Structures are given as structure tokens and as C-alpha cells.
Structure 1
């Protein structure tokens, strides 16, 4: 890879990982729309690790409380008596991750081979973009992520399975589900970002397993640059996105998704 490709891909990964516009769609489209060669699995892992670092650092205080509370309530959880809000939220994040892990593991090869065309991406961008628009327009109760129930968390987890379809956007579909369940825009986004942590860890783990089976030559300078640029852009994206949606909402992202989807259909039809 040349350095322009390193910078562009890292920033795209960092920015789109947490915006409701589908990071996988943009990363798939870059080699389709340019003459760049595939960046390779090593660089993919590096960019995901950068995004993971960003979300962990941004929510470090909340994560510390969640982990400590979760660890101290393991005994009561076995008897269905988790009352600490931080521990309960930690459980909801873990349990909501199960559906996408099961389905993703079972259908990984099929999705990679059969569902990465521009037409699938366009359909995901437009269809789930319109669903996001409805969820954002729909009257809400403005609940906090700490007011989620187990039923709510599992519904969001089931919606997250749809993120396996290229163009859907993991953050977009989980924010959509949380909005439909009555969460405020900011709380929906925060829960979506917390959900991204185990998903990114598991996805990166699968990529590392694949990498161990097919070792690649590593350019450590480009790799470290990718991690840092992806992490920095993801951190800034989280910060400004949370502030932006409180005032403006999701509609600009809906418009972007629909326009991009229609443009893809026009280009590749």
C-alpha cells in the first residue's frame, strides 16, 4: 500500500465505524471505486483495533464501573437478582452480543462470498436508512440505557444480527432498535457504542485466527499509523456524533445513506 491509501482507509474506518452509515460498505467500495489493491487482513485488524481503543478510552469511566459492578454481582445474577444498574448494563451488553456471534460464525463464509456486491450494499443503505428515519421520527420516551430491560437488550441484539448484511451498519441498526424501544438519541448511541466493544473484539479475534493460518508480510510503520489514525478519527467521531445528534437527530445520516445507495444503483446497474 502507498501512504495515501493508509491514511484514507484508516480515517474511513475510524469515522464510519460508529456513524450509522456502514463502515463495511465504505471499505468494500474503496477498492471497487479505485485502482487500489486490497489492503490485506493485517491492516484490517489494525484498523479495527484502533476503533476498539477509541471506544474503550472514551467510555473508560463507564466501563470501569460496569466491569467492577458486574464482577461483584455474579452470585446474585445466578439467582436473577441483579439490581446494580452498572452490572445490569454490563449483562445486557454481553447477552445482546450472543445472537450476532452465533449467526455471524455460522454464516461468515456465505456472507463474505455472496453478499458483498454493490447491490446488497445499496439495498442495505437505503432500506435500513429509511427504517432509521422512521425510528428517529417516531415519538419516544427518552429512556436511558440504564433503563433497558433484558427483553429490550435481546431485541437490540437480534436487530444487531442484521448488521451482517453489508450496507446495514452495526451502529445504525442498533441505534434504530434502541430508538424504537424508546431510548433517547444519545442513550441509543451510547448503548450501541458499548455493544461495539465485544463485537469488535470477537471479529478481530476471527481475523487474527485467519491471519495465523495465512501469514502476511507486515509493514509495522504503516500498521501503527493505521491503528493511531483509525483510533483518533473514531474517538473524535464518537465525541462529536453524541453532541450532534442531540441537536440535529439522525436525518442527515438518513439522507446520506439514501443518496449513496441510489448512486451505487445508478453506477452498477
Structure 2
């Protein structure tokens, strides 16, 4: 992997991981357009670690508060923070189950440009509809057990490439009556255990493989992914109430059409 490839792929990962536009749809483009080889497991671990550092760093105060409240709840001291922490844990379970049971299916059959183009287009109008007609006035602390399961199932659905984890979970959050801010914040909090588990899983796979590592490239990728993801989260939350989801819906529609056009041109 060249330095240019590492920079581009790390920025793509960081900028698209937390926006409702699908990181997998974007990560397929460089290899398809430029004929690049797969970035490899080591680089995948590095940029996901960077994304994890970004989201934990941005929500460091909330993460500390939720962790302390969750530990206190084990001793019988319950609060709004402990309830939120438990619902995030519950929302993580569906994605873990689906990921363990269906990883071979997803990797083997669902990473084609046709699947990614279809899901990129399919979930765009659903995001627009939920943002236009469903947003409510509830915050993330109001999420209950049944709603956390629904949000968890949405997150599991995002394992299909092109769906967008943040896109489908924000859509579900809006449909459940959360504000834009609350839906986005809950989506980002949900991402922490999922990215953590995915990174750990890839790290174990890397440890058992014979893949060599260029530590300079890996550190560069992790750094750029972390910085770009942090800035992305910050400005997304800052602007979301003003711009809504329509710009991302339009972008997804154009991207999906572009992917279909590119796929047909290769037939």
C-alpha cells in the first residue's frame, strides 16, 4: 500500500463511518475505480481503531459517566445514566449475533457493487421520510428496553454493506420519536461497543495470520481516521438541526446511481 492509498482510505473511513452515507459504499470505490488491491486486515484494524479512538474521545465524558453508572447499577444503584448504558448494551446484542452467525455469508455474497448500490439507494428515501415526518422531542435517555432492541436490530441490518450503520440507526431513532440530536448521539454511543468488538475480532484474526505490517502506514492510517472521524462527529452534531438529513439523502441517491452506472459499464 502506498502512502497516497493509505491517506485516501483512512480519510474515507474516518469521514464516512459516522455519516449516514455508508462507509462500505465509499471504500469499494477506490479499488473499483483505480484497481487497487484490498487494503488488508492490518490496515482495516488500524483505521477502525482510529474510528474507535475518535468516538470514545468525543464522548469521553458521557462514556465515563455511563460506565460509572453501569457499575453502580450492578450494586443496585440505578439512574438515568445506568438505564442508558444498559440499553446500549442490549442494542449491541443483535449485531453481535448476526455478525457471528452470518459473517461468511456477508463477506462471501453481499459485498458486491450491486448489493451496495441497491442498499445505498433503498435506505435513502427511508432516511428522508423519517426525518421529515417522524422526528419527535425525546432524548436518548428515554430509550426503553423494547426500543433498544429495535435499534439493535437496525444496527444488525447495517451489517449488509451499503446500508450505513449510522444511517439506519438514526432512521430507527427518528421513527421512535427521538430528536435528531438524540438519534445521532444514541447511534454514536451504540457504535462504541460494536466497533470495539469488531476491532478486537479483526485483531485476533490478524494475530493468527501471516500478514506482514508496515507500522508507518498503519500509524498514519489510524491517526488520519481518528482525526477525520472526530471532526466529522463534531460538525455533524453541530449542523444536524440546521441542515437535517436531506443533503445526505440526495448524496446517497447520487452515489447509488453512480455505483449502478459504474457496475453496468463493467459488464
Q: Same fold (TM over 0.5)?
A: yes
Structure 1: stretches of 5+ with no match in the other structure: 77-81
Tell me the distance in 2 between the aligned counterparts of 1:131 and 1:151.
21
**More moved, 204-213 vs 105-114:** 204-213
For 2:157, the equivalent position in structure 1 comes to 162
Structure 2 matches for 1:1-269, cutoff 5 A? Answer: 1-76=1-76, 83-269=78-264
Deviation at 1:83, TM superposition (A): 4.1
Tell me the distance in 2 between the aligned counterparts of 1:8 and 1:94.
33
- CA distances 1:211-268 after superposition (whole Å, capped 9, x unpaired): 1221211111111111110000000000000111110100100000011101111221
Matched residues, number: 264
Q: Is the 8 A contact 2:25 2:116 kept in 1?
A: yes
RMSD: 1.1
Tell me the distance in 2 between the aligned counterparts of 1:163 and 1:220.
30
| TM-score for both structures, normalised by structure 2 | 0.96
Task: Please identify runs of 4+ aligned residues in structure 1 that moved more than 6 A.
Answer: none
Tell me the distance in 2 between the aligned counterparts of 1:171 and 1:139.
17
- CA distances 1:170-195 after superposition (whole Å, capped 9, x unpaired): 01110000000010111100000000
Structure 2: stretches of 5+ with no match in the other structure: none
**More moved, 24-33 vs 111-120:** 24-33
Tell me the distance in 1 between the aligned counterparts of 2:118 and 2:74.
42
